[in-house]
Structure 1
Amino acid sequence: MPTSKPPSDDRVPASSSHPLGTVVPLLAASAVFVILAALYLGRSLFAPVFLAIFIVAIVWPLQRALENRMPRVLAMFVTVVVTAIVTIAMASLVLWGLNRAVQWAIANAASFQAQYQRVDTWLEGHGLYLASEFVHNFDPRWLLGALQRLGAGLQYVASFVVIALVFVVLGLLEVDVARRKLVRASKVGIVSACRATAGKFQHYMAIRAVMSAATGLGVWAVTYALGIDLALEWGVIAFALNFIPFLGPLFATMLPTLFAFVQFDGFVVPLAIFVGLNLVQFLLGSYLEPRIAGEQLSISPFLVLFAVFLWSMLWGIAGAFIGVPVLIALMTFAEHHPQARRWSVLLTGDSTRRVHPDE
């Protein structure tokens, strides 16, 4: 009597050769690419909307406080007017400072070229041919063009801020309605995540405002003490641009140093300016600010830098400003999601945080 063969095990072993092991990462990568492409192509719409959501989260406590004293529509009007005044004041300050810097550069264009030719000669004499080649091809019009492009970028930001204010009005009217709808739909976790995100946004902007004011004061003090022209303008520019992590402080440090090469003969004063401004940026941005921010806003510096460059690539200056808040929102929502909570802890900048056993 023939023996029957044992039933073959048709189960596919869980290994990397399984088709799903390749398809799922490809689908995830494709989805990320499609989302980024959509954000880039729709930047004229998405950037104001993201900025409006951020502004609503920041000014909502003011709206709530005013609603206790006046009708809701009037409270919303006052909130929007205050927001517009602050935004216009910030834009006016930085544009005033950049305009003064452009005027100074135009008036000293010949000095720019002469000084950099002198640097070129010194570098060649000391065998630094690579740096000499870079300086040899320097054209002061590049610097003027960079300043003008920055000013144009800020004007673009100011133009879509007007669109964002329209969304702010609608958002302020919808906050309570959206919260009640989410509660009725048993989405309490989303409400909690939104509330936590708004709190972190407010904390982030409060710290940024204080640190930016301190940075502007420090830059003004260093440039004024060393006798640099446009000391007040450099302080104002440093204050405004410090709201953009990494890129803003870098620009606010390098630009006065370049101008100092034209104003002074030799390398002593420009080097002192460079060291002094970097010391201000380091003490405030790398030492004091993380300690004030504390664990609530502890994010990996690598992720912060990546977010700034990614969103600036997508939306320009507006993206560089909104990139870190978007990262804060994503990580906060991850903290409120059971499956993503452990990943959010791993991506924080504070290594002393611990995952609770029930997580």
Structure 2
Amino acid sequence: MSTTPSEAPPAPPNSEGATFLRRTRMAAYILLLLVLSIHLLEKFRDVLQPFFIAMFLTFMMHPIHRWLVRKGIPSLLAYIVIVALVMLGVLAVGLLIYTNLSQLADRDKLLKYEDRLDAMIRGGAERLPFKTPELQKHFLREIHVSSEDITAATQAIARRFGDFTTWAVTTFLFILFVIAEKVSFPRRLALAFGAHQGMRILGVVETINLAIGQYVAVKTLVSALAGLLSYAVLAVFEVEFAATWGILIFLLNYIPYLGSLVAVALPIVLSFLQFDEVWKGAVIAALLVGVQQGIGAYLEPRIAGQRLDVSPLLILLALAFWGAIWGIVGMILAVPLLVIVRIILDNIPETRPIATLMSNR
């Protein structure tokens, strides 16, 4: 039976136009989701920061917990011991930094630092090329730092540490709940997705555990070494607040690339302000930079290798992104979060090409 023109099937829609429309709609959804996520991260930072720090510390505890369990210590007791030691360490570090910041705000010390800084600035103004009296006055006026400025800065930092106890307690509670959730998590995965899919998800989680655990272990080792060596240098030269600078160098070394530069800049500036002899400040600066370069450029790459498998450019972008949203905490968490995203994308067939683009292969 022949088909009449009126009974002919309708013409297929323009497939290229439909595909373009679908992709445009998907891009709009992704952009909207990204904007909403950034807004929520900023809005609820006081809740989310302790939670992500708790996750970070839990990853840090994982290798130690596994070692204690292999030694015959019950799993729950091992977690209790580790959490107690971590929280005592965090509180001790916070108290030490707070005490030293309070001493830094001492009036006599600030006046001494102000005089030294003014002398250095005037010496720099004298060496300006094409100097004129007006140019020198403008230079001195623009970069003058008074003791009141330093006092205001240290008091502002000290006030931030006033909230430290609340933050630490919140983080401690999150750690307890994360550990409690780990016990029943495999069983709930199997109930929700079935035994096969649940095991697959657990495999991804274990891969994340190993990758982040190795990263945190290596970072902790090299950061502790950098902090101890820097403290030794500062203590030998009797730089004030040597212990505080050592702790700050340890903490800031968790921030790739940028953290070590900022960490050594602060004690170097103080050493030039503290000592009348310029050579002492120069030697301290050379030793601190040498420690950072030796550890960052030689030791750490040989310990860590290419385990993270993440593009350095993406790491810098992640540092900028998380630093803009959450400050120093965000910069510390940037690399672990980036690694987690890459591992998840690598285990989904549809998004595996994106994970490959993110890698450092």
Which residue of 1 is the match for residue 89 of structure 2?
A: 86
Q: Is the 8 A contact 2:189 2:198 kept in 1?
A: yes
Task: Give yes or no for the alignment of 1:248 onto 2:236.
Answer: no
Q: Is the 8 A contact 1:119 1:135 kept in 2?
A: no
Which residue of 2 is the match for residue 357 of structure 1?
A: none
Deviation of 1:93 (Å): 4.1
Task: Give the 3 Å change call, closer, same or farther, for CA 211–143 of structure 1 in structure 2.
Answer: farther
In terms of fraction of residues, the more helix-rich structure is 2
- Structure 2 stretches of 5 or more lacking a match? none
Q: Is the 8 A contact 1:193 1:336 kept in 2?
A: yes
Q: Deviations over 1:42-77 (max 9, x none)?
A: 112212222222223332455564598566654543
Deviation of 1:195 (Å): 1.0
Task: Give yes or no for the alignment of 1:133 onto 2:144.
Answer: no
- Output the CA distance in 2 between the equivalents of 1:131 and 1:343: 55
- Output the CA distance in 1 between the equivalents of 2:225 and 2:79: 31
Which residue of 2 is the match for residue 51 of structure 1?
A: 53
Q: Is the 8 A contact 2:110 2:150 kept in 1?
A: no
Q: Deviations over 1:102-121 (max 9, x none)?
A: 44852524324422442442
- Output the CA distance in 2 between the equivalents of 1:33 and 1:42: 14
Which residue of 1 is the match for residue 355 of structure 2?
A: 344
- Output the CA distance in 2 between the equivalents of 1:211 and 1:154: 26
SS of 2:292 mapped into structure 1: helix
Q: Deviations over 1:171-201 (max 9, x none)?
A: 2122121112213422322211111111222
Please, which of 171, 184, 187 is the counterpart of residue 180 of structure 1? Answer: 187
Task: Give the 3 Å change call, closer, same or farther, for CA 290–311 of structure 1 in structure 2.
Answer: same
- Output the CA distance in 1 between the equivalents of 2:103 and 2:261: 19
Which residue of 2 is the match for residue 161 of structure 1?
A: 168
- Output the CA distance in 1 between the equivalents of 2:136 and 2:27: 43
Q: Is the 8 A contact 1:260 1:269 kept in 2?
A: yes
Which residue of 1 is the match for residue 40 of structure 2?
A: 38
Deviation of 1:31 (Å): 0.6
Deviation of 1:8 (Å): 8.5
Task: Give the 3 Å change call, closer, same or farther, for CA 144–258 of structure 1 in structure 2.
Answer: farther
- Identity level (%): 24
Which residue of 1 is the match for residue 217 of structure 2?
A: 206
- Structure 1 stretches of 5 or more lacking a match? 354-359
Which residue of 2 is the match for residue 121 of structure 1?
A: 125
- Output the CA distance in 1 between the equivalents of 2:268 and 2:30: 45
Instruction: Pick which of 243-252 and 204-213 moved more.
Output: 243-252
Q: Deviations over 1:237-261 (max 9, x none)?
A: 3223323334532332211222233
Q: Is the 8 A contact 1:244 1:320 kept in 2?
A: yes
SS of 2:349 mapped into structure 1: coil
Which residue of 1 is the match for residue 338 of structure 2?
A: 327
Task: Give yes or no for the alignment of 1:309 onto 2:320.
Answer: yes
Q: Name the aligned partner's letter for residue 91 of structure 2.
A: I
Q: RMSD value over aligned CA atoms?
A: 3.6
- Output the CA distance in 1 between the equivalents of 2:315 and 2:50: 21
Task: Give yes or no for the alignment of 1:194 onto 2:201.
Answer: no
Task: State TM-score, norm by structure 1.
Answer: 0.80
Q: Is the 8 A contact 1:121 1:132 kept in 2?
A: no
- Output the CA distance in 2 between the equivalents of 1:83 and 1:197: 22
SS of 2:350 mapped into structure 1: coil
